[in-house]
Amino acid sequence: MPQASYAYAMGRISVMTIKMLDAVKLRRIAEAATEREALTMLLETGYGGNLSGSNTYNKEIDYIIRDQLTQSRADVWEITPDPERTKLFLLEVDTHNIKAFLKARLLGIEVPDILRYGGVFNLDMLKECVKTKNYEQLPDIYKKAMNEVEQDLLREVDPLSFSAKIDCAMFRYVKSELDKLHDHSFVRDYFSLMADFQNARSLIRARFLHWDVDKIRPQLLACGEIDERFFLEAVDTPLEQLSGKLNRGSNGRLIAETIDDYNSKGQLPVFKQKMETALMEIVKRASYNPFGLGPIVGYLLGRNAEAKALRVIFNAKRSGVEVNLPELYQ
């Protein structure tokens, strides 16, 4: 059961944050001479408490990272005084799992060992929904989206299409829940900015693939501050005029700057990099309030960023290439 007190939550968060890996610790692990040495250093930080000696070395790395993320989500569920808003930051876990179950069913295989734990919806329930193609137990927005996905699959198996519909369902659900709560906090700002960034990236990709308006429309996420029509109108806008077209509202300047950055570098990952930095800044500002949700969300997202950095480190070690840590830790 969630605790009623932000004071209690802040006390727990303060203790848990001490155990996180900062840039100095991550760089030290990255500078280890071998992969085995890097793993030893990671285990010394407290990671891997449930590590089984019977696992292969490659599985151990991913297992201990996923185990820590699962524990972090469980801690957040336990201490949050505001589960209705907190759950919105955990919906990505369910989105990932729905896609995993659906892809496994289509391929006729067991679900790979990539499921995530600690989401909003019961994992066994999600598995049964996808297996039986019966989504009555899901919220209406998800139920409608998944029924549409199943109808689409009768005509064509298009992973990009059903993945986009599941993503869109998540953002529509977020918007619906925030509207119910009459929320105008950093939580809405967070998802609004994420949606605008994702839509801008989808627009760039659509232009590269020569998609028309009808093809890109289902890819656009609700919840953003920049109206969908501006993205649709921008499909035929010259690239050098694109930033001006989308420079609207409080998110517009950052989106425009990112588009200009893309125009000069030609690298699509710049959208994800800029988005992650901007989202963390929103949460960082909210974290200054000790009697709000900011510190709790900050801890959760910090653990996610930490996991991403660790995967970068160990993938580089395994491949024998130089480690290039995410911008957040440079």
Q: Whole-angstrom Cα distance, residue 114 to residue 63?
A: 10
Distance of CA 165 to the CA centre of its chain: 16
Q: Whole-angstrom Cα distance, residue 5 to residue 32?
A: 42
How much is the average pLDDT of 295-307?
96
With H, G, I as helix, E, B as strand and everything else as coil, classify residue 60: helix
- The pair of structure tokens assigned to 158 is 């298009």
pLDDT for position 59: 56
Which residue do the tokens 């953002």 mark?
171
The 3-class secondary structure across 113-157, one letter per residue, is CCCCCCCCCCHHHHHHHHHHCCCCCCCHHHHHHHHHHHHHHHHCC
pLDDT for position 270: 92
- Between 24-28, 59-63, 112-116, 149-153, the lowest mean confidence (pLDDT) is in 59-63
Which domains are delineated in the chain? 83-182 (1.20.1690.10), 184-301 (1.20.1690)
Q: Whole-angstrom Cα distance, residue 1 to residue 81?
A: 9
The 3-class secondary structure across 285-319, one letter per residue, is HHCCCCCCCHHHHHHHHHHHHHHHHHHHHHHHHHH
DSSP 182: T
Q: Containing H/E element for 37?
A: helix 35-43
pLDDT for position 56: 40
pLDDT for position 53: 53
pLDDT band at 48 (very low <50, low <70, confident <90, very high): confident
How much is the average pLDDT of 16-21?
94
Q: Whole-angstrom Cα distance, residue 12 to residue 79?
A: 8
Q: Whole-angstrom Cα distance, residue 271 to residue 246?
A: 14
- The pair of structure tokens assigned to 189 is 């700002």
This prediction has a pTM of 0.93
Q: Whole-angstrom Cα distance, residue 243 to residue 260?
A: 6
258: number of CA atoms within 13 Å, CB side?
A: 27
| Model confidence at 63: pLDDT above 90 | no
pLDDT band at 2 (very low <50, low <70, confident <90, very high): very low
Of residues 325 and 92, more confidence is placed in 92
pLDDT for position 113: 82
Residue length, the chain?
A: 330
pLDDT band at 261 (very low <50, low <70, confident <90, very high): very high
| Model confidence at 25: pLDDT above 80 | yes
pLDDT band at 327 (very low <50, low <70, confident <90, very high): confident
Mean pLDDT for the chain?
A: 92
pLDDT for position 61: 86
| Model confidence at 91: pLDDT above 90 | yes
